[in-house]
Amino acid sequence: MTELQGALAELLALLIPVECVCCEVEDTVLCGVCAQNVRHLCKQPFRAEQESPSLVDVNGIATLQVVAAGAYRDELARCLLSFKRSGQWRLADVLAPCLAKAVESAIGGRTGFLLVPIPTNGRAYRKRGFSPVHLLLLWVRLRRLLPHCASIDALQKKRSWPMDRLPTAVFHMLTGRLADVLPGRESLVQGNGQKGLGRGERARRVRGSMRVRRRRIKDIRGRECILIDDVLTTGATLAEAARAVKAAGGVVCGAVVLAATRPPAYAPFAAEDDPHGVIKTQSKNKWLKDE
């Protein structure tokens, strides 16, 4: 199988010339040196929720525990950007093991968890042709990196109104009228992207934007779930996903992300401080109970 993969990679390099997404070395989407650097950046998964304002209450207590595989910088950041924006799906061969390692660090050898990926919005999916998180989990499953954890595509984004397709005059008229009567109106009258938004705007944009698929409610009800996402910023998306899973009867035990944009100063030591896992089961941690 390895020889076949190598032969296919060489054939693709001939048909479609590529270069390393990090250092621009030719004939490979990620050279050996840069791949090793990515693995090094993900060598010690760490807790990241305290740096995400949407996941911390007014008393400074985390409402959702999050483990990050690495800090969103250097080769890891470049790989993620190329993976998501340029469709470099072959990078999953390096990124998926890093994500799996973070999950292993989080659960500490325990079993029975459901991995629930965060869905991408429809516009981004149509542009990329795939969902980054779902593809990473598919890679994890195919390579049997987490044989004791099952993944379930339970979450979906609620449809928003296609306001950007309306004539400008009608758009302004409707948004002006809707602004006074609709809760969570920002997610209806604006685009789906969150880049550049602050904490409050991100939280308003995603509030009420997710739900569990009807056919999956029975599958997650009463089950211990771990949310899976690619990048952690303010935590607004994970908070909304946790709300949706809890509303459907699932038990949210924490989350795992591939990279955190705001790694804490103690990040390199987090894995050593808790070698038995940081995501607890419902019976062992009262933090899991709903507010």
Per-residue 3-state assignment (H helix, E strand, C coil) for 157-180? ECCCCCHHHCCHHHHHHHHHHHCC
Question: Average pLDDT, stretch 230-250?
Answer: 96
SS3 (DSSP) at 32: helix
At 264 the pLDDT is 80
190, with CB counted inside 10 A (0-12, 13-18, 19+), is middle
Closest to 250 (Cα-Cα) out of 228, 226, 214, 230: 226
Contacts of 257 (CB under 8 A, 6+ apart): 48, 66, 67, 68, 69, 102, 228, 229, 230, 231, 232, 238
Closest to 231 (Cα-Cα) out of 198, 253, 197, 258: 258
185, with CB counted inside 10 A (0-12, 13-18, 19+), is middle
DSSP line for 171-231: HHHHHHHHTTT-TTTHHHHS-S--TT--HHHHHHHHTT-EEE-GGGHHHHTT-EEEEEEEE
> For residues 210 and 240, what is the distance between their CA atoms, to the nearest angstrom?
7
Of the options 3.40.50, 1.20.120, 1.10.3470, 3.50.50, the CATH number for the domain spanning 45-158+209-288: 3.40.50
The mean-pLDDT minimum among 86-90, 206-210, 214-218, 268-272 falls in 268-272
At 134 the pLDDT is 95
Question: Average pLDDT, stretch 210-226?
Answer: 96
pLDDT digits (tens, 9 = 90+) for 79-133: 999 998 888 888 999 999 999 999 999 998 899 999 999 998 777 777 777 889 9
Tell whether the model's pLDDT for residue 285 goes beyond 50. Answer: no
Of all residues in the chain, the percent with pLDDT exceeding 90 is 54
The mean-pLDDT minimum among 24-33, 46-55, 203-212, 263-272 falls in 263-272
Query: What are the residue boundaries of the structural domains of the chain, listed by start?
Result: 45-158+209-288, 159-207
Question: Average pLDDT, stretch 254-280?
Answer: 70
At 122 the pLDDT is 72
At 263 the pLDDT is 84
> For residues 150 and 273, what is the distance between their CA atoms, to the nearest angstrom?
27
Average pLDDT value over all residues in the chain? 79
Tell whether the model's pLDDT for residue 206 goes beyond 90. Answer: no
**Residue 207 token pair:** 């509030």
SS3 (DSSP) at 252: strand
Question: Average pLDDT, stretch 196-222?
Answer: 78
> For residues 223 and 240, what is the distance between their CA atoms, to the nearest angstrom?
18
Query: What global pTM score does this model have?
Result: 0.76
116, with CB counted inside 10 A (0-12, 13-18, 19+), is buried
> For residues 125 and 37, what is the distance between their CA atoms, to the nearest angstrom?
29
At 184 the pLDDT is 44
Tell whether the model's pLDDT for residue 78 goes beyond 80. Answer: yes
Question: Average pLDDT, stretch 185-190?
Answer: 41
Check: CB of residue 74 under 8 Å from CB of residue 41: yes
**Residue 90 token pair:** 């072959």
Of 281 and 3, the structure prediction assigns the larger pLDDT to: 3
Tell whether the model's pLDDT for residue 279 goes beyond 80. Answer: no
The mean-pLDDT minimum among 26-30, 60-64, 117-121, 272-276 falls in 272-276
> For residues 182 and 185, what is the distance between their CA atoms, to the nearest angstrom?
5
User: Computed over its alpha carbons, how large is the radius of gyration of the chain?
Assistant: 20
Banded pLDDT at 282 (limits 50, 70, 90):
very low
